Structure 1
Amino acid sequence: MERYGSDTEGEDQERPLLRRGNEDRVQRAPVCCSSRYGLALLSSYGFFVVYSLRVNLSVAMVEMLNSTHQPNVNHSGSLCPAHPSPARPKHNHTASLYDWDSATQGWILGSFFYGYILTQIPGGYLAGRFGPKWLMGLGILGTVIFTLLTPIAADLGASYLIAVRVLEGIGEGVTFPAMYTMWAAWAPPMERSRLLTISYIGAQLGTVIALPLSGEICFYLNWTYVFYVFGAVGLVWFVLWVFLVFDSPNTHPRISERERLYITNSLKNELSTSSGYIPWRSIVTSGPLWAIVVAHFSYNWTFYTLLTLLPTYMNNILGFSIQQNGMLSALPYLGCAVTFLTISSALGGVSASGFNINHLDIAPSYAGILLGITNTFATIPGMVGPVIGRALTINNTIEEWQTVFFIAAGINLFGAFVYTLFGRGNVQPWAVRTSHSAHGD
C-alpha cells in the first residue's frame, strides 16, 4: 500500500535533503489559500476516492453471497466462543445474491491487484514524460467508471466481475507514481513531508470511512449502492481535479507570483529528470531501495490481508451483522479499538510513514519511478494474499484463520529485520548526478 510521510519539518529546515545554495534566503509564500496546499487537499480527496473504491467490495462481498449455500459457516468450532453470534436485524435484501465458493471469493477479492501491478513502473515513467495531472485524473476516472459497472458485471458472472476489478486496478496503479512525480515539481523541500502527509492521509481516511459507510449502505439500501455512491463521489473529484490542478507552478494560471517563485527557486538545484536520463542500473542495484521493497511488501501483506478478508472474518468467525461488520472492520485502520488486530494496524501506520517517505529521502528526483518499483513488489500480497487466505479458511474455523494471521506476522518480522539492517535515510550518490555526468548506468 502507498501512503503518508513522516513529519520532520524542523529537521528539514535546518538540514535540507540536497544542496540548494541560497534557498534559505528565498522568501516563503503563505500557507493560507496557497496553490500547493490546495493541491495537497485535492490529492488527499483523490486518494480517499482511490481507497474507498478499493475496499468497498470487501464489505459488499459479505452481502453478495447467498448464505444458505455457504458451507460450514455455522458448524461447531467456527464461531469465536468468546463472542457468540448476535441477533441480526432484518435489512434490505433486494439485490442479487451469488453462490460463490471460497476459492472464487479469493480470486474476486485479489483480482484488483492483478491490474494494479501492471501500471506501477509505467505509471512513474509516463507521469515524468507526459505530465502527472491527466495520468492520475484519467486513471481514477477509469476506476470510477468500472466501479459503477460492478453490479452489472456481478450479474453476468464471477469472471466478468474479476475482469472489471482487474481494469479498476489498472486505472488505480498509476495514481501513487503520478502523485510522487507531481510533488517533485510542487513540494518545496522544507515543506515536503508536511505536504505529502496531507496528501496521503486521504488513503487512510478512505479506508476508515468507506468500511463502516459501506456497511450502512448495504443495510439501508443494498450492496449495489455501495458502488454507485462511491462512484459518484469519484466523479465529483474528477471534475475538481480537471479545473483546479496543473502539472507545475509555472503552468498554473492562478498561482501568486510570490508562491511560484518560492516553489521554483527552492527546487532549482534539485536534479531534474527532464533530460530523459535515468540511472537504471544504479537504481535496481541499490541496497536501500531493496530494503524499502522488503518493508513495503511485508507491510502490505498484513494490510491487504486485513483489508480484503477482515469483513469476512468478522462475519463468519465473530458473527457480526453487516452494520457492525463495516464499523469494526474500520477500527483497526482508525487506530482505537480493543483487539490485537487494531494494535497491529495502528503500528503498521507508523511503519508506513517511515518507508514511504524514504523514496524521497534516497532519491527525490526519481521518487515516482522508485515508488513504481517498490509498489510493484508490494502489490503481490494483494494478488496472492486473499487467494491464499480463503484457500486456508475453507471451513471457516478459528484455527484456520489463526494460520492466516501467523503467516502475516512472520512476514512482518522478516521485513522489519531487513529494513533495520539495510535501510538508509540519506540521498544516494547516483541520485544527485548532474545531467551531463557519464551515462555509464
Structure 2
Amino acid sequence: MCRSAMAPPNGYSINSAPLDESEDGEPLIERDPVPPRCCSARLNLAFLMFLGFSVVYGLRVNLSVAMVAMVNVTDPKPAQNSSIVHACPLPEGMGNMSDTFPQPDGIPQYPWDSETQGWLLGAFFFGYLCTQIPGGYLSGHYGGTIFMGLGVLGTAVLTLLTPLAAQMGSYWLFALRALEGFGEGVTFPAMMAIWARWAPPLERSRLMTFSGSGANFGAFVSLPLTGYICQTLGWPAVFYLCGGAGCLWAVFWFIFVSDDPRKHPRISKEERDYIIGSIGPQGTGHGWSVPLLPMLLSVPLWAIIVTQMCSNWAYYTLLTSLPTYMNNILHFDLKSNGFLSALPYLGGWLASVLSGVIADSLIERRVFSITAVRKIFTLTGLLPGAAALLAVAYSGCSHILTVTFLTLSTTIGGTSASGVFINQIDIAPRYAGFLLGITNTFGTIPGVLAPIATGYFTEDHTLAGWRKVFWVAAGINIGGAIFYTLFGSGKIQPWAITEEEAAEAEKNRSTAVIT
C-alpha cells in the first residue's frame, strides 16, 4: 500500500500553517495510508485531461506539417544572393524534384513565402495570449471543468473551418488561427484550477505532469499522422479529422468530470475524504477578490514568469518550425518529416511523466525540500537541453546527428515539467489557476515571436540562418535556468494563506508557548 499525506484529527495538511518545520522552513509532511490510485476518480481525471491536451496540441501543431503541403513552392521568391554551399545537398534521386508536394486532384495550394508562413504559424498565439488570465481567474472562482471543456470544443469546431479560411486568403486564415488560440488559452489555467481542488499535495507532481504530458504526446502523434494524411487524403482532411476528434473528446469530458471531489457522483467516500483532508482550506475557490499587489511584488512568481518565457522560446521554436527545418534544410519527404519532427516529443512525454513520479518520491521521502526539487528539475531540463540545441546548430547536414540532438533536447527538457511548470500550485494553491494564467500569458509571448524571428533568420534557407535560431534559443534557456535558481521557491506565500489557516497557525503558536 502506498503512503502519502493524510490530515490527522487536528486538521493539519501540507498547505496549512505547519506545526513543525524542516530546516528551510517548509512544513514536515504527515504520512498515512491513502486510497489506491488505480481506477481512482483522480487518476481517471488525469487520464481524461491527458487525452484533452493530446487533442489540443494536435490541433495546435497540425498546421506546422500541413503548411509544407499547403504551399505550392517552398519559397516563391528565393534570395538571389544565397550561397548554395551553405545548404544541404539533395538526397540521391531528388535532384530534379521540386519542393512542391503533389496533392490529390482538387486540393488547392497557395503561394505563401517564408514570412507569410511565419506569421500564420504564430497567429495562434496572438489569441492564446488574450484568454490566459481571464480563464485562470474565472476557473479559480467557478471551477475549471466548464472552461477546459469549452476551450477544447471551441478550438475543435474552428479547426473544421481551416480549409475554408485558407481558400479565402492568408488574412482569413490568420484570423481563424488567432481565434483558435483565443479558445484554447483557457485550457492550462483551467487544468491548474482543477488540480488545486483535486490533487493531494504528495501526488501533485505525478498527476499534473501526467495530465500535462498530453501536450507532448499530442505533438508526437499529430506530426507524423498529419504528414501521412496530407500525402494520402490531402491536407484539408487533417483539419476535419483533428477537429472531429476534439468534438468527440468534449462529449466524454462533460459526462465524466466534476469540478470538485465533493460533487463527483462516482468517487468513493474514502478517496473524497482523503483528497479534501490532505488539501485543506486551499482546495476551495478564491472568490472574486485576489491579492493583486502582493502577487505583483512576489519574487517567486516573477521567477516562474521569467523562466517559463525563456524555456518556451526553445519549445515553441521547435514546435512550430521544426517541420520546415526538416523539409528546407535536410530535405526529408513529408511522411519522414512528420515522423522525425515527432521524435523529440515522444522523449519529452516519457521524461515528463517519469520526472513527476521521481519528484513526488523525493518530496514524500524528505530527501529534498519542495523548493530544492523544483530547482533541480528545472535546471536538469533547461541546461542540458540548451547544450543539445547548440549541438544541433553544428550538426550540419548530418541527418542522424540532427535528429539525435533535437530528440535529446526535448527529452531532457521534459524533466522541467516537475520544476517551474507546476510551481504555481506550490506557492499559492488557492490561486494556482489565476497564477498559471499570468505566467502562461508571459510564457506565450515566445510563441508569437519565435516563429516570426525564425522566418526572418531563415529567409534564405541556409544553415547559417538556422544556426542563429538554435543559438538564440539555447542562450535564452540558459538565462532562464540561472534566474530560477536564484529566485525560485516552493514555499506557500504569505499572501496565499487563508484566514482559517492563519487562525489555526496562531492557535498552534499559542499552544506551543503555553506548553
Deviation at 1:347, TM superposition (A): 2.1
1:32-431 alignment to 2 at 5 Å? 32-67=38-73, 70-72=76-78, 76-77=84-85, 79-81=87-89, 84=91, 87=94, 92-94=103-105, 95-270=107-282, 272-335=284-347, 338-339=401-402, 340-431=405-496
- Per the alignment, in what secondary structure is the counterpart of residue 16 of structure 2? coil
Identical columns (%)? 51
User: Which deviates the most, 139-148 or 25-34?
Assistant: 25-34
Distance 1:86 1:10 in 2: 61
Once the two structures are superposed, residues 224-252 of structure 1 have per-residue CA deviations (whole angstroms, 9 ceiling, x without a partner) of 11111111111110000011111111222
Q: Distance in 2 between matches of 1:146 and 1:284?
A: 35
Q: Match of 1:128, SS?
A: helix
Q: Which residue of 2 aligns with 1:19?
A: 16
Are 1:31 and 1:37, in contact at CA under 8 Å, matched by a contact in 2?
yes
Q: Relative to structure 1, is the Cα distance of residues 85 and 360 closer, same or farther in structure 2, using a 3 angstrom cutoff?
A: farther
State the AA in 1 paired with 2:47.
L
Q: Distance in 2 between matches of 1:86 and 1:147?
A: 37
What CA deviation, in whole Å up to 9, does each residue of 1:80-113 have, x standing for no partner?
A: 25x7476479864432100111211111000000
Output the amino acid matched with 2:198.
W
- C-alpha distance 206-294 of structure 1, shift in aligned 2 (>3 A): same
> What's the CA shift string for 1:21-73, capped at 9, x where partnerless?
89958763222322111111001100001111011100000110011763339
Go from structure 1 to structure 2 and tell me whether the alpha carbon gap of 1:13 and 1:416 turns closer, same or farther (over 3 Å shift). farther
Indicate the larger mover: 140-149 or 273-282.
273-282
Query: Offset of 1:75 from its aligned partner?
Result: 6.9
Distance 1:401 1:62, change over 3 A: same
Structure 1: runs of 5 or more not aligned: 1-8
- Which amino acid in 1 is paired with 2:15? L
The structure with the largest alpha-carbon Rg is: 2
Shift of 1:149: 0.5
Query: Partner letter of residue 196 of structure 2?
Result: A
Once the two structures are TM-superposed, the CA of residue 13 in structure 1 deviates from its matched residue by 8.3
Q: What amino acid is the match of 2:148?
A: M
1:355-380 deviation per Cα after TM superposition (whole angstroms, max 9, x unaligned): 11211221111111111111001100
Question: What is the distance in 2 between the residues matched to 1:124 and 1:160?
Answer: 28
- Stretch deviating more after TM superposition (109-118 or 9-18): 9-18
CA distances 1:277-302 after superposition (whole Å, capped 9, x unpaired): 42111111111111111110011101
State whether residues 85 and 318 of structure 1, in contact with CA within 8 Å, keep that contact through their aligned partners in structure 2.
no
Matched, 1:434 2:442: no
Distance between the aligned counterparts of 1:285 and 1:415, measured in 2?
Answer: 19
Native 8 Å contact 1:17 1:426 kept in 2: no
Give the stretch that moved more between structures: 221-230 or 49-58.
221-230
8 Å CA contact retained: 1:271, 1:433:
no
SS of 1:254's partner is coil
Q: Which gives a bigger RCO, structure 1 or 2 (Cα 8 Å, sep 6+)?
A: 1
1:4 is aligned to: none
Q: d(CA) in 2 for partners of 1:155 and 1:10? A: 57
Contact 1:44 1:201 in 2 (8 A): yes
The 3-state SS of whatever aligns with 1:305 is helix
With 349-358 and 55-64 compared, the bigger mean Cα shift is at 349-358
CA distance in 2, matches of 1:86, 1:313: 20
What whole-Å deviation, never above 9, does each CA across 1:100-143 have from its counterpart, x for those lacking one?
11211111000000000000110111112222111111111110
Structure 1 residue 353: deviation in Å?
A: 2.8
- Give me the TM-score of the superposition, normalised by structure 1: 0.90
How far did residue 146 of structure 1 move?
Answer: 0.7
Distance in 1 separating the partners of 2:482 and 2:32: 41
Give CA deviations for 1:5-31 in whole Å, capped at 9, x if unaligned.
Answer: xxxx98978997423889958763222
More moved, 417-426 vs 369-378: 417-426
Structure 2: how far apart are the matches of 1:131 and 1:137? 11
Whether the 8 Å contact between 1:106 and 1:389 is mirrored in structure 2 is yes
For 1:311, the aligned partner's letter is P
Structure 1 residue 414: deviation in Å? Answer: 1.2
- Cα contact 2:13–2:280 (8 A) shared by 1: no
Distance 1:25 1:172 in 2: 38
1:267 Cα offset (Å): 2.3
SS in 2 for 1:118: coil
How far the C-alpha of 1:276 sits from its partner, in A, is 3.4
Q: Which amino acid aligns with 2:438?
A: I
1:31 aligns with 2:37: yes
Bigger mean CA offset, 169-178 vs 382-391: 382-391
| Structure 2 residue matching 1:315: 3-state secondary structure | helix
One-letter amino acid of the structure 2 residue matched with residue 117 of structure 1: L
Give the Cα–Cα distance (whole angstroms) in 1 for the partners of residues 138 and 221 of structure 2.
31
TM-score of the two chains, using structure 2 as the length reference = 0.78
